[in-house]
Every structure is written in structure tokens, then in C-alpha cells.
Amino acid sequence: MPVNQNLSIKPKNRQRQTAFVFIALFAVSVISIFIPSINGMDGMNGGFALSFIAIFLSITFLITSVVFFVMAKKFDIAITDENLILHWVYEKSDWMKFAEKEFVVQKKEKRLLFILIIAISFAVLVIFSIIVRDSWRIMIIVFFGLSALLAFVAFIVPKIQYRNFKKTIPEAYIAHGCAYLTGEFHCWSMLGAALEDVELDDKNMQIRITYSYPTRYSRSQTSIRIPLPMHKNSQSEIENVKFQAENAVSVLKKSNNL
């Protein structure tokens, strides 16, 4: 059974907001398809290329908007009483302690990934430049572009997440196929995603959910760490929270055949 339920104030459905943003981008890209012909641009002088890029972007934005609309629907279903496994609200002081620890963990994980990918990319750069000697200039440009993107993910994204953690209402929802943790929505019941593991970490007093999802060449994994609200005043309340956590882990394992 859920605890600390106060569903009169529901979190914002940011997935729906994002979907509408991509719908707007889709509309702009569709209009852009016809701009070269409207302006009288010669097709063989770049007009066809610009139209092709606009078509590609319009398809991409349309697919992305559909994905976010589906996620928005799943979000609405997840936070209803019928589908909710548990709902926790945290004390601000306790949440800030968790946010600071999570910020440290995220920085470490992202920077290790950054170093690993940069090392592999540099090795590919060297090997490819030796095999195809005339390609080294292009490979350097690609390498530095990739480095800049990965640096953003490794150094900026954890700061953005930490800032969002501080600004949003500290609460967690766990439902069948989804979880929401203070502004972040995770769904492992769509687009080939799958729940890989769920466990109760007694040492750190967290529920750890790991799920995978398909990428272009392989599957990637994401872990969610949901802290137990341990600000309770009595031992019986603390034991009740632990029971809620154990029940949630058991339900998720059973429903996903883990």
C-alpha cells in the first residue's frame, strides 16, 4: 500500500510539455520544407538539400513527440491510486542530504564514462588516421565535437539535475512499469525497455531500480536510487517505511518475473 499519499497536488507532467515543444518544432520543419521553392532557390544549388534536411528533421520531431505523448499518458496512469505501488514525500532537510550525495555519485559516474569514451574515441582517431591518412583533419573535428558533447553530459548535466532536485517538491512515486523521483520520470514498459533488477539497499536505505533500453547499436542501462524517508518520529513508523519498501521491491520483481 502507498504511504504519505497526497495526490491532490500532483507533479507536473513535463513529458506532455516536451511533446508539445516537439510538435511546434515539427510544424516549423514542415514549413521549412517549402521555403527553398517559395524563395525561388535552385534545387541543384542547395534547395533540394535544405528540403531534404527539413524532411528528415520533421520526421524526427514527429516521432519524438509521439514518444513523449505516450510517456505523458503513462505518467498520468502511474500517479493514480489504482496503479500506484507507493508514494513518498520527503522532509526538505533529508532530501537535500540525499541530493548532495546523489550529485557526488552522478559526477563520478559521468566523468568515468567521459574518460572511457574519450579514450576509445582517441584510439579510433589514431587508427583511422593511420589507415586513411587524408582523413585526420575530419577525424580531429569529429573528436573535438564529440568531446564537447560528452563534456556537457559529464560536467553540466549533474549540476542541472542537482538544481532541479533543489527546486522541485521532494517526492517519489513507484508504479507498475514506471517511477518518478522529484522531476525525473523513468519508464521501462515501452519501446523495448525492460526492468533488469530491483533491490532494497539496506546499507544506504535506498530502493535501487535498474532498467535497460535499446540504443542504436546495443542496450544501455539506467539506475534510479530512491531513498527511504527516514525522518519518522518513532521506530514503528521507520519499520513501516521499510515494510513499504520491501513490498514495492517484491511487487516489481513479481510483475517483471525477476
User: What are the tens digits of pLDDT across the range 47-103?
Assistant: 677 788 888 889 989 999 998 999 899 888 888 877 889 899 888 888 888 878 877
Buried b (16+ CB within 10 A) or exposed e, 3-30: beeeeeeeeebbbbebbeebbebbeebe
Mean pLDDT over 228-246 rounds to 82
CA–CA distance, 54 with 45 (Å, rounded to integer): 16
CA–CA distance, 204 with 75 (Å, rounded to integer): 27
Write down the pTM of the prediction.
0.68
Contact 103, 109 (CB under 8 A): no
104's grid cell: 557526488
Mean pLDDT over 215-235 rounds to 80
pLDDT score at 65: 92
256's grid cell: 517483471
CA–CA distance, 15 with 250 (Å, rounded to integer): 28
CA–CA distance, 228 with 244 (Å, rounded to integer): 9
Check pLDDT > 60 for residue 2: no
For residue 88, give the nearest of 255, 250, 248 by alpha carbon: 248
pLDDT band (50, 70, 90) for residue 6: very low
Mean pLDDT over 169-173 rounds to 87
